[in-house]
Structures are given as C-alpha cells and as structure tokens.
Amino acid sequence: MNKYLEDLVKLSKFDTQISMFEPQIENEKAKLATFVETAEAIKVSINNTYVLIDEVKSKRTKNNIHLAELKTKLDDIAKKHKEVQNEKELKALQLEEEIAKEQISFANEEIARLDEITEERESQLKEFQEKLAQEEESIKDIQIAVDNQIEDINKQRNVVYQQRSELLEKVDSKILTFYEKIRRWAKDTAVVPVKKQACYGCHMKINDKTYAEVVKSDEIINCPHCGRILYKEDETVEA
C-alpha cells in the first residue's frame, strides 16, 4: 500500500476511535443520571406526603377545637336544665342537647378518619424514605463504577491521542491538509474501505477502472461519487 495512504488509513482509524470516546463517557454518565432522577422523584413524593400529613393534622386540630366547644355547650345545657320553667323550654333544650351530641359524635368520627389517613400517609412516608435510602446506596455504588469506567476510557483515549500524535509527526503535511479538508464534511468517514466494489462512505458502486486502482493501492484514490479517500481493506480484516 502507498505509504501516504497507509498513514491516512491509520490516522482516520485513530480519529474515529477518538470520536467514540465522548459518547462512551456520556453513556456512563447517563447510567448515573437515571438513578439520580429516580431519587429526585422520590424526594418530591416525600415532600408532598409531608404536606398532606400537615394538612390532615391541621384538620384534626380544628376538629379538636370544635369538640371542646361542643363539650362546653353541653355543660351549659346541663346547667340550664335546672332553670327550665315549662315543657316548651325543656323540649327546646333537649333538642339543642341532641344536636350538640350528634355534632360531638360526628367530630369524633372525623378525628378517627383523619387519624387513619395520617397513619396511612406515615407508612407511605416510611416506604418512600426506605426507597430513597436504597436508591442513594445504589447511586454511591454506581458513582464508583462510573468513575472507574470513565477513568479507563480516558486512559484509552490518552493512548490513542499519543499514537495519533506520533503518527502525525510522520505524516506528509500536504497529505494531512488534503485529509483535513475531506474530514471537514465527511467527519469520521473521510477515509473509507471499498466493500463489494462500493464506497463504504456513500455506498455507490465504483467503476472497474477505479476499483482496480484502489486494489493496486499505488496512489491515493478518491471516490468518484463523493470524494472520500478509498482503500482496499485486507481480505482477512474484511472477513
């Protein structure tokens, strides 16, 4: 293979590898993000539950105050019983007493209902808190794993950078400029193999004459359709 072409194939492979490191790192970070989002959602649920419990407790307090008022009223009615003058007054007082007692029983029922709700919410709250603790534990583990992965990726990236810069020292500057120009639009597919006599960049069929030149690899051949640099991959590699 032409030496310049050989360099370009190597360079292109390094550049492709380098481009793939960032998505790998993003992918690692995304693993953690899912857990962090779950933890945040649980925190929101915990806060909402606290608000609901407060609301119910405040309703309970109101009912308690009402209950105390009703009991005072009952005491007053009991005192008034001694001062009753006639049947009509007695009936009115009895009715008042009956209503107060009904209201007391209603307030008690309401308090019992609210207590049940509070108990339910508090057990929910406990579940949320346990879930959050688990999630935070997982986050810690995943954070360590992700950090290690990213460190590995960065090490690999440094190796490729190093190899790339060593190669760059040897690459002919005109060839490099030529490559960079194609790379500007073709990104990581500036140098592509020919497979089944087609350009692996634009997937168009290469004519026999150009294909024969690519196979010969004596010089740098561009795809007649898209302009990418073509090379014939070793059969073993292609297989």
Question: Is 221 among the residues that bind Zn ion (CB under 5 A)?
Answer: no
* Positive or negative: CA dihedral 184, 189, 191, 195: negative
Residue 121 or 228: the one with the smaller Cβ distance to Zn ion is: 228
Q: Which is nearer to Zn ion, 167 or 202 (CB)?
A: 202
Complex with Zn ion: residue 201 or 220, whichever CB lies closer: 201
Closest CA to 187 of 177, 171, 201: 201
The number of CA neighbours under 13 Å toward the Cβ of 9 is 18
Q: Determine which residue in the list 127, 211, 226, 233 makes contact with Zn ion, applying CB under 5 A.
A: 226
Task: Annotate each residue in 174-213 with x if it binds Zn ion (CB under 5 A) or - if it does not, as one string.
Answer: -------------------------x-xx-----------
Give the separation between CA 10 and CA 219, rounded to whole angstroms: 16
**Candidate ranges 5-13, 88-96, 173-181, 219-227; the one touching Zn ion (CB under 5 A):** 219-227
If the CB atoms of residues 150 and 202 are measured against Zn ion, the closer one turns out to be: 202
In the bound state with Zn ion, the residue whose beta carbon lies nearer, of 143 and 222, is 222
Helix (H) or strand (E) holding 43: helix 3-81
Q: Which of residues 68-127 bind Zn ion (CB under 5 A)?
A: none
Nearer to Zn ion, 73 or 227 (CB): 227
Q: Residue 93 is encoded by which pair of tokens? A: 């007082």
Q: Are 191 and 167 in contact (CB under 8 A)?
A: no
What CA–CA distances, in Å, run from 103 to 12, 31, 55, 73, 107?
Answer: 85, 57, 22, 11, 6
Q: How far is the CB of 206 from Zn ion (least distance, A)?
A: 8
Shortest reach from residue 173's CB to Zn ion, in Å: 25
Say if residues 10 and 225 touch (Cβ distance below 8 Å).
no
Query: What is the smallest separation between the CB atom of 195 and Zn ion, expressed in angstroms?
Result: 12
Q: How far is the CB of 194 from Zn ion (least distance, A)?
A: 9
What is the DSSP-derived secondary structure letter of residue 196?
A: T
The contact set with Zn ion (CB under 5 A) reads 199, 201-202, 223, 225-226, 228
